[in-house]
Amino acid sequence: SPEFLDIWDVNMLRRPDEVNTPQHSTHLYASDHLIVRRGQEFQLKVTFDRPYKPADDQFAVEFIIGGSPQFSKGTYIPVSVAKDRQSPWAGRVVDSTDNVVTVGITPAPDCIVGKWRTYVAVVTPYGIRRTRRDESRDLYVLFNAWATGDSVFLDDDDEREECVLNEVGVIYHGAYDDMSERPWNFGQFDYGVLDACLFIMDKAAMPITNRGDAIKVARKASAMLNSHDDDGVLVGNWSGDYTYGVAPTSWTGSTEILLNYSSSKTPVCYAQCWVYAAVFNTFLRCLGIPARVVTNFYSAHDNDGNLKTDVILDENGRIDKHRTKDSIWNYHCWNECYMSRPDLPQGFGGWQAVDATPQETSDGMYRCGPASVQAIKHGQICFPFDAPFVFAEVNSDVVFYSRNPRDGTLEPVKVNSSHVGRMVVTKVPGQDARRDITDQYKFPEGSPEERTVLEKAEEYGCHREKATPPEADVELDMPLMEVRVGDDFELKLEFNNTSDQARTVDVYVSGNVVYYTGVTSSEFLFKTPRVILDPKKAEKLVMEVRSQDYMRKLVEQANLHFIATGKVKETGQIITSMRVVTLHTPKLSVEVSGLAKVSEEMMVTVEFTNPFKFNLEDVYVRVEGPGVMPPKYKHYR
């Protein structure tokens, strides 16, 4: 009968030139569906068989997510435009012209994030008539860093632009005083990536009702990005043998990894810390949570939950490799995501550290965070999640112990409190430059605030070495060297005798090829010089390091680690110095030629000159261009 409304069409207004995508900053997503951010109005158009009469007609737009939708669980949301019917998502008639009604709908700022199904229902004398399921009307709802009511609201345009909308970035590695950059394509807007990110939560069997909570989403993802425990996204491999997968250093972006995971449904090989951090960054930005990759130089990986990285020396002052268990990573990358923390006391919202690299378990699974960076800075490490672990990564002391061969007791002989957490950096918003954010993690070294914080952390069970062995009156330093792979170079040890008596030092100098995790793969240099110092005099000791000594033993990430320990004969004091030499690899040059115009072909030329005296074998070249070219690779025997 003609009196009740009949629905002819539902238009989601999903085209980039229509009202929704530009307003919701989702114009960059490559998708066939409408994508909006919660806590902000979007519009759709319903065409009826006749003009809509508000006084007589009743209709609702319904949104459903998950397998068993329920109103009480927030998984079934009927939105009415009538003034007297309130729904969890506000609805209003924006315009009604002829047979077309434009409806404005505002998803609640804490609603579930994911893929919703859309229906329109009309009340008739014979019951409710509802549109059929139509996949083209599906709607993605994301977190909204632009909406004040959203827990991820970030009130800073530049930071928001960078941490939600930038699809490329730079990840820093190497050494704090000789830094290298690794460009990365996050690709959070690439076709299929959003679905892959939602698949990760499905694969984790994460309850749909938890998916509007940024804290839970970030914590779940920190577990799911590594394959330990739960068949997550990436398999870690620090062995140097990548026969059955892609070497961690070969990846150039996240897209390939995420699409590979969502289509094969099995973990992707292989990752190391920056790959975990980069793909985690894509996941967070894709869902709308502001995120950035940070790098901590000299990151302590503490095996026993104290604030000490223990280095054990034998009675002659030489490192005991079997008994030294803790490691210091030359650098370690993790993520920060921005969100309020209603579960913590005031003031601990903002940037939260999360880490997907499997180092230690948290509540039985390999995951870490979110831990409030502000709480870490102030030593308030009792708050969830995993703050003590992150606190130790940036605050550990390196303690050298001398082991008594008779009874095995350990005596602290030197404490270095400034080596670990030497510098924390991330990319500057809007430009390819780095920003030092060490001061967000800790107070200046040696300041009264720093002491207070360490005492505070101590109350919560982070113990440090109380003994303060007297400073030796001989100083030892190894100055910085910039070395290219394949170079011969000189290692310099600078000694300074500050006392007014002669000093004799027996020195052990060990040079090792190390993984960036600080784990030694092999020793290539070992020397035991004796140095005699006149009162108040300085001496330089120079050692030749030849490329043939280390080249055959190199592992990827090419780091050489020198450690010198010495025992002063007259006083029995121990002196130490450490230096990481990041070997610089030959540069690639990339040139683009041809017309830079839409639909015109261009050529990319990648050039590389082999600087070595030997042939390179099994060379893989990988290239990708976000938005212009999918990842391609070529193998040269």
Which string of DSSP letters, residue by residue, matches 218-282? HHHHHHHTB-TTT--SEEE--SS--TTS--GGG--BSHHHHHHHHHH-S-EEEE-HHHHHHHHHH
CA distance 394 to 126: 68
Would you state the structure tokens that stand for residue 47, as one six-digit string?
A: 């065409």
Strands (E) located in 356-466: 361-362, 365-366, 368-372, 397-403, 410-416, 423-427, 434-436
Would you state the structure tokens that stand for residue 117, as one six-digit string?
A: 């199904």
Establish whether 500 is a catalytic residue.
Answer: no
Runs of H (alpha helix) within 380-437: 387-395
Q: Which residues are annotated binding-site positions for Ca(2+)?
A: 395, 397, 445, 450
Which residues, including other chains, have CB under 8 Å from residue 32's CB and lie 6 or more apart? 14, 136
Catalytic residue from among 150, 302, 355, 386: 355
| Burial category of 634 from C-beta neighbours within 10 Å (exposed 0-12, middle 13-18, buried 19 and up) | exposed
Catalytic residue from among 197, 273, 333, 337: 273
Three-class DSSP labels, 571-588 = CCCEEEEEEEEEEECCCC
Which residues, including other chains, have CB under 8 Å from residue 216's CB and lie 6 or more apart? 206, 210
DSSP 497: E
CA distance 24 to 20: 6
Residue pair 493/540 in contact (Cβ under 8 Å)? The answer is: yes
Catalytic residue from among 24, 301, 332, 378: 332
CA 523 to chain centre: 31
CA distance 554 to 282: 31
How big is the CA angle at 305 (ends 304 and 311), to the nearest 5 degrees?
A: 55
- The CA–CA distances, whole Å, from 219 to 297, 312, 366, 388, 441 equal 24, 36, 11, 16, 20
| Residue whose entry in the numeric block shows the structure tokens 């993690």 | 441
- The CA–CA distances, whole Å, from 240 to 247, 326, 523, 555 equal 8, 21, 16, 6
CA distance 218 to 204: 12
Q: Dihedral of the CA atoms 17, 22, 26, 29 (nearest 10)?
A: 30
Contacts 24+ apart (CB under 8 A), 381-386: 381/457, 381/460, 381/462, 382/460, 383/344, 383/345, 383/348, 384/343, 384/344, 385/219, 386/362
Which residues, including other chains, have CB under 8 Å from residue 250's CB and lie 6 or more apart? 620, 622, 633
Establish whether 506 is a catalytic residue.
Answer: no
Would you state the structure tokens that stand for residue 382, as one six-digit string?
A: 């009792």
Residue pair 421/299 in contact (Cβ under 8 Å)? The answer is: yes
Q: Which residues are annotated binding-site positions?
A: 395, 397, 445, 450
CA distance 542 to 47: 84
Q: Which residues are catalytic?
A: 273, 332, 355
